[in-house]
Structure 1
Amino acid sequence: MYLEGSCHCGAVRFSLDSAQPSPYQRCYCSICRKTQGGGGYAINLGGDARSLQVSGRESISIYRARIEQPDGSIQTSSGERHFCRECGSGLWLFSPEWPELIHPFASAIDTELPVPPEHTHMMLGSKAGWVEVDAASADQQFDGYPQESLTEWHERLGLTKA
C-alpha cells in the first residue's frame, strides 16, 4: 500500500510503500508514551525504507532515546525517532539494525489506513496508570515484545498479497 504522511504544520511531507499498513501494534514503553503522547502509546507501521520520499528534510530532527540500564548506566538507543523540529510531530522510527525498514507512526499518516482485525498491546509494564486497556479489544497483551513480527501477524490473518 502506498502511504502519504506529514507533520501537523506541513513543513515535512513523506511517502513510502508498506506491506504492513494495519495499525494494530500499540507500544506503551516509556519512549513511545513520552514522545507520542496520544493515548499513552504509539502505533508504528512497517514500511520499505528504499521507497521513502521526503520533502522538508531540513525541518526534521532526530531523537535517540537514552535508556537506563539495570546497573544505573545510561545507554543511547540506536533507534532514530524522526520528528518535525517546527511543530514536534513524530514522523517515523528508523533503526540501523534493520536498514530495510522504516516504521512510520500511524498518527503521521494521511492516507486512510485499514482497520486491523485485532490489536497487540506491548510493553504494558511501562503503561501509565491513567491509560485503560480495554480487555475486549486487547486480543494479545505482552509485558515485553510480541512473539510475532509485523510480517508474521499479517500473514497469520491473511492480510498479505499472495
Structure 2
Amino acid sequence: MLLQGSCHCGAVRYRVTAHEPVPFMRCYCSICRKTAGSGGFAINLGADRRTLEVEGEEHLSVYRARMPDGSRSPGERNFCRQCGTALWMFDPRWPDLLHPHAGAVDTPLPAPPAVTHMMLGSRPHWVEAHIQAQDDSFQEYPKASLAEWHERHGLTSP
C-alpha cells in the first residue's frame, strides 16, 4: 500500500510503500511516548525503506534516544525540525525496514481487527490502556513482528 505522509507545517512530505500498513501496535515505552505519542503511546507501521521518497529533506532532523545505560539507540527517529512532527523511525540493524508514525500518515489507513499493546510496563499511571478481548498485551515486547501479525490476520499488502 502506498502511504503518503507529511509534517504539520508542510515542510516535509514523503511517500513509501508499506507491506504492513495496519496501525495495530501501540507502544507505551518512554521513548515512543515522549517523541511521538500524544495519547501516551505511539503507533508505528512497517514500510519498505528502499521505496522512501522525501520532499523537504533539508527540514529533517534525527534523534537517537538515550538508553537507560547512557548509550544511544541506533534507531534514528526522523522529525521535522520546523514543527517537531515525528515522521518515521529507521534502525540500521534492519536496513530495508522503515517505521512511519501513523499520526503523520495522510493516506487513510485500514482499521485493525485487534490491537497489540506493548511495553505496558512503561505506561504511566495516567494513561488508560483500552484493551479489548481480542487484543494482545505485553509488559515488554511481543514475540510476533509487524510482518507476522499482518500475516496472521491476512492483512499483508502486496
Q: TM-score, normalised by structure 2?
A: 0.97
Superposed CA RMSD? 1.2
Shift of 1:68: 1.4
Residues in 2 aligned to 1:29 and 1:100: alpha-carbon distance in whole angstroms: 23
Residues 1:7 and 1:161: Cα distance change in structure 2 (over 3 Å): closer
> Which residue type is aligned with residue 85 of structure 2?
S
SS in 1 for 2:39: helix
In the alignment, what sits opposite 1:9?
A: 9
Aligned partners of 2:117 and 2:131 also within 8 Å? no
Q: 1:34 to 1:3 in 2, by over 3 A?
A: same
Residue 25 of structure 1: aligned partner: 25
Q: Choose 28-37 or 7-16, whichever is displaced more.
A: 28-37
Deviations 1:30-76 (A, max 9, x none): 0001111311010000000010000000100000000112xxxx110
- CA offset at residue 129 of structure 1? 1.0
Out of 111, 116, 128, the residue aligned to residue 112 of structure 2 is 116
Q: CA deviation at 1:161?
A: 5.1
Aligned to 2:148: 152
**1:51 maps to what in 2?**
51
Matching residue within 101, 104, 121 for 1:105: 101
Aligned partners of 2:60 and 2:80 also within 8 Å = yes
Q: 1:87 to 1:139 in 2, by over 3 A?
A: same
Contact 1:61 1:84 in 2 (8 A): yes
Partner of 1:83: 79
Structure 1 stretches lacking a partner, 5+ long: none
Q: Is the 8 A contact 1:120 1:138 kept in 2?
A: no
Q: State the Cα distance separating 1:20 from its structure 2 match.
A: 0.4
4+ residue segments displaced more than 6 Å: none
For the Cα contact (< 8 Å) 1:2–1:17, is it kept in 2?
yes
Hey, what's the Cα distance between the residues in 1 that align with 2:6 and 2:57? 11
Unaligned runs of at least 5 residues, structure 2: none
Whichever residue aligns with residue 63 of structure 2, its letter is: Y
Q: Name the count of aligned residue pairs.
A: 158
- Give the deviation of 1:160 after TM superposition: 2.2
State the alpha-carbon separation in 2 of the partners of residues 41 and 85 from structure 1.
21
Aligned in 2, Cα 1:54/1:134: closer, same or farther, shift over 3 Å?
same
Identity of aligned residues (%): 58
